[in-house]
Amino acid sequence: MKFDLVTCFLVLSLLMACLVYVEAALLLKNQGKMPQSNFFAIISLMTSVWVLVSAVAWYFLDFAQFGSAVAVAYPLYALIGFFYSGSLIKSEDLPDDPMDMVVPAKYLSFCQSFAQVYGLASVLALAQVLGLIDFW
């Protein structure tokens, strides 16, 4: 089995897709409010740091055709998500305490949809790197 930084990045990308999905599910379960648990805090920190890791990986690593799409997709998701969430809450009266903030269900659906597509893309890119499939 080929194991290098690209393979490691793609495996971790698949893990991040799962974590984004779980993070959104935990928020939905809590009616959009931030859960008060260390588990949620760790997931949130990991998914936030992954934006920088993906950008650095895209710049420094030598990806096959499909792998570079995985690397650039996560920072794009974060950027688009920032503007989308802002548009969803711009008309709302924001609470003084950030812990009272309610994340809109539409945004959480966006996150879970992205997680599914990102996970599939990670699997396909990993399969390409491992020589299991060839796109062109």
With both helix axes pointing from N to C terminus, report the angle between 38-60 and 65-89 in degrees, rounded to the nearest 10: 130
Rounded Cα distance between 126 and 12, Å, is 10
- At 106 the pLDDT is 94
* CA separation for the pair 132, 87 (Å, rounded): 42
**Residue 115 in this model has a pLDDT that exceeds 80:** yes
What percent of the chain is modeled with pLDDT above 70?
A: 95
Confidence class for position 136, pLDDT limits 50, 70, 90: low
Task: State yes or no: pLDDT of 72 exceeds 70.
Answer: yes
Backbone angles phi, psi at 33, to 5 degrees: -90, 150
pTM over 0.85: yes
In whole angstroms, give the CA distance from residue 25 to residue 111. 9
Distance CA 3, CA 116 (A): 24
How far apart are the C-alpha atoms of 103 and 32, rounded to whole Å?
Answer: 5
> Within a 10 A sphere around the Cβ of 127, how many other Cβ atoms?
15
pLDDT value at residue 131: 85
Query: Mean pLDDT for the chain?
Result: 91
pLDDT, average across residues 100-116: 93
Question: Which residue shows structure tokens 């996560």?
Answer: 74
Across 114-127, average pLDDT:
96
Whether 1 has a pLDDT exceeding 60, the answer reads no
Predicted confidence (pLDDT) per residue in 34-67, tens digit: 999 999 999 999 999 999 999 999 999 998 778 8
